[in-house]
């Protein structure tokens, strides 16, 4: 547990913060902000849930909870009904146009 | 303390059991637990290996690629419990021989994802045995062959006496173009060689293992229909680890089956030393910090072995995500 934030933390994942310069909660918010940039063109939004899970919000009001990044992508796919592909040219165009 | 699990893989009839049999005759394997698979009811592998070592453990019959996931976990847990109770000698490492049709990725995923095994066992080296006389045919006909070669940390060419010199040289070049791991011949392995049974990135000197990857010497190869292709990505500026994690986790989720291997030496923001990542298909290992950069080139370098993936798009995606997703720490709180 992080003594500063009182977070139990997520499951261990390779993409976890490398150092401990920033408090864990802030690292988590940074990650969620980055994820939101990617999922925005699919009309999805991601919020933190108690510092352990991600809450995915769809445009039609559907919600999903996900634990860890791998599950997050899986749940996002279920919500939008197609793969969230980082090689999708429309997504790349969107990211370039909306820095 | 975590125990290294080394995987010996290779296509059917490539000579894995013959190699193990020879290795077992040396004394260096005395403190090794060996996990082998009986293939079907015939159990040829079982007959060949059973007599050689007293602490050999056989998995129940069944193909590794369809049933090992559950059974491997059970077998490993059981083995570790027996070790803790003192019923088996306190071995230093585990050797797992896969069946010839196995794709190594699910095995690595089992070790990495199982909460009971994760802290107790780690992946050491993946050794792939390649049959010199049938390599070209197996590459053409069986996609598992390529998955096994791409996953390898060491490549061992067997049956060199059955292939002529030209064919052998062609095979060596071919293997090197797919996976720049050290290539040896099984004849040159006489005992439990450290190069073969080492601890890879988990050894006391991970930089040595990274040097063997020869990341700086790898060149991208052109695409040919249906074939594996090497793609090198470099990035001048230090990478944002959060953006990189989002990109790669998303990529592996969507295209894991097509990414046979990924290795990288990364220059990450706020870290003076390089970070090493490596993975096989969907499964990425925990990153390792090197004490210092191996040379003057401090650019981030990623090497992918892919099959059926547009590498130009991969390059563009990497650049767009690295540049557009990198956030200032304050931006996240805005």
The full 3-state SS of B42-79, as one line of letters, equals CCHHHHHHHCCCCCCEECCCCCHHHHHHHHHHHHHHHH
Pair B302, B213: CB distance under 8 Å:
no
Computed on alpha carbons and rounded to an integer, the radius of gyration of chain B in Å comes to 20
Q: Is A65 exposed, middle or buried (0-12, 13-18, 19+ CB in 10 A)?
A: middle
Tell me whether A18 touches chain B (CB under 8 Å). yes
How many helices and strands, by DSSP H and E, does chain B display?
11, 13
pLDDT of residue B184: 84
CA distance, residue A68 to nearest chain B CA (Å): 10
Residue B176 CB-half CA count within 13 A: 13
Q: What's B207's DSSP letter?
A: H
How far apart, in whole angstroms, are the C-alpha atoms of residue A49 and residue B52?
55
Out of A18, A26, A99, closest to residue B271 by CB: A18
pLDDT of residue A77: 94
CA distance, residue B323 to nearest chain A CA (Å): 9
For the CA atoms of B333, A68, A87, B308, the dihedral, rounded to the nearest 10 degrees, stands at 160
pLDDT of residue B244: 94
Which residues does chain B have with pLDDT short of 50?
39-70, 332-334
More reliable by pLDDT, A51 or B320: B320
Find tokens 């193909």 and name the residue. B63
Q: Are strands B3-10 and B32-36 parallel, antiparallel or unpaired?
A: unpaired
Tell me the two tokens of residue B69.
């996931």
Domains of chain B: 3-203 (3.40.50.300), 214-333 (3.30.1220.10)
On the question of pLDDT at A38 being above 90, the answer is: yes
CB–CB of B285 and A83 under 8 A? Answer: no
pLDDT of residue B243: 93
Residue-wise pLDDT for A68-98, tens only, equals: 898 999 999 999 999 999 999 999 999 999 8
pLDDT of residue B250: 95
pLDDT of residue B72: 80
Contact list, A69 vs chain B (CB under 8 Å) = 245-246, 249
Here the ipTM equals 0.90
pLDDT of residue B245: 94
CA distance, residue A94 to nearest chain B CA (Å): 10
pTM of the shown model: 0.83
CA distance, residue A40 to nearest chain B CA (Å): 12
Which one, of A86, A81, A37, A92, lies nearest residue B255 by Cα? A86
Chains A–B, number of C-beta pairs less than 8 Å apart? 99
CB–CB of B254 and A22 under 8 A? Answer: no
pLDDT of residue B225: 63
Contact list, B322 vs chain A (CB under 8 Å) = none
Pair B218, B302: CB distance under 8 Å:
no
Contact list, B310 vs chain A (CB under 8 Å) = 87
Chain A contact probe: residue of B115, B244, B250 with most A CBs at under 10 A: B250
Out of A26, A34, A99, closest to residue B246 by CB: A34
Residue B5 pairs with which residues in a beta bridge?
B94, B123
């Amino acid at each position: 547990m992080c003594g500063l934030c009182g977070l139990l933390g997520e499951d261990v994942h390779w993409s976890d913060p490398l150092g401990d310069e920033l408090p864990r909660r802030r690292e988590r918010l940074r990650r969620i902000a980055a994820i939101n940039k990617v999922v925005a063109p699919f009309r999805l939004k991601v919020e933190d849930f108690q510092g352990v899970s991600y809450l995915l919000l769809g445009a039609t009001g559907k919600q999903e909870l996900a634990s860890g990044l791998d599950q997050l992508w899986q749940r996002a796919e279920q919500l939008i009904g197609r793969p969230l592909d980082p090689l999708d040219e429309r997504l790349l165009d969107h990211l370039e146009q909306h820095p | 303390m975590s125990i290294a699990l080394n995987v010996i893989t290779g296509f059917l009839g490539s000579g894995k059991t013959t190699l193990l049999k020879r290795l077992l005759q040396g004394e260096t394997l005395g403190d090794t637990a060996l996990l082998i698979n009986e293939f079907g009811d015939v159990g040829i592998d079982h007959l060949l290996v059973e007599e050689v070592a007293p602490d050999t453990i056989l998995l129940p019959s069944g193909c590794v690629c369809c049933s090992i996931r559950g059974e491997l976990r059970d077998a490993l847990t059981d083995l570790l419990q027996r070790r803790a109770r003192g019923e088996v000698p306190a071995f230093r490492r585990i050797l797992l021989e896969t069946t010839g049709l196995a794709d190594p990725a699910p095995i690595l995923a089992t070790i990495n994802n199982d909460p009971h095994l994760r802290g107790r066992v780690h992946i050491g080296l993946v050794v792939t045995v390649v049959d010199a006389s049938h390599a070209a045919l197996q590459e053409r006909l069986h996609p598992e062959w390529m998955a096994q070669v791409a996953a390898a940390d060491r490549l061992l060419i067997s049956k060199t006496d059955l292939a002529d010199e030209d064919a052998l040289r062609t095979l060596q070049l071919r293997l090197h173009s797919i996976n720049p791991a050290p290539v040896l011949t099984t004849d040159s392995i006489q005992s439990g060689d450290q190069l073969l049974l080492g601890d890879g990135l988990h050894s006391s000197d991970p930089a040595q293992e990274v040097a063997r990857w020869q990341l700086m010497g790898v060149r991208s190869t052109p695409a040919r229909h249906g074939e594996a292709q090497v793609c090198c990505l470099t990035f001048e500026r230090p990478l944002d680890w959060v953006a990189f994690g989002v990109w790669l986790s998303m990529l592996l989720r969507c295209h894991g089956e097509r990414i046979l291997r990924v290795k990288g030496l990364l220059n990450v923001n706020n870290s003076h030393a390089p970070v090493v990542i490596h993975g096989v298909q969907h499964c990425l290992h925990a990153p390792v910090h090197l004490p210092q950069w191996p040379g003057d080139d401090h650019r981030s370098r990623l090497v992918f072995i892919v099959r059926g993936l547009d590498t130009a798009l991969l390059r563009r995606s990497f650049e767009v995500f690295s540049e557009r997703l990198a956030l200032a720490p304050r931006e996240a709180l805005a």
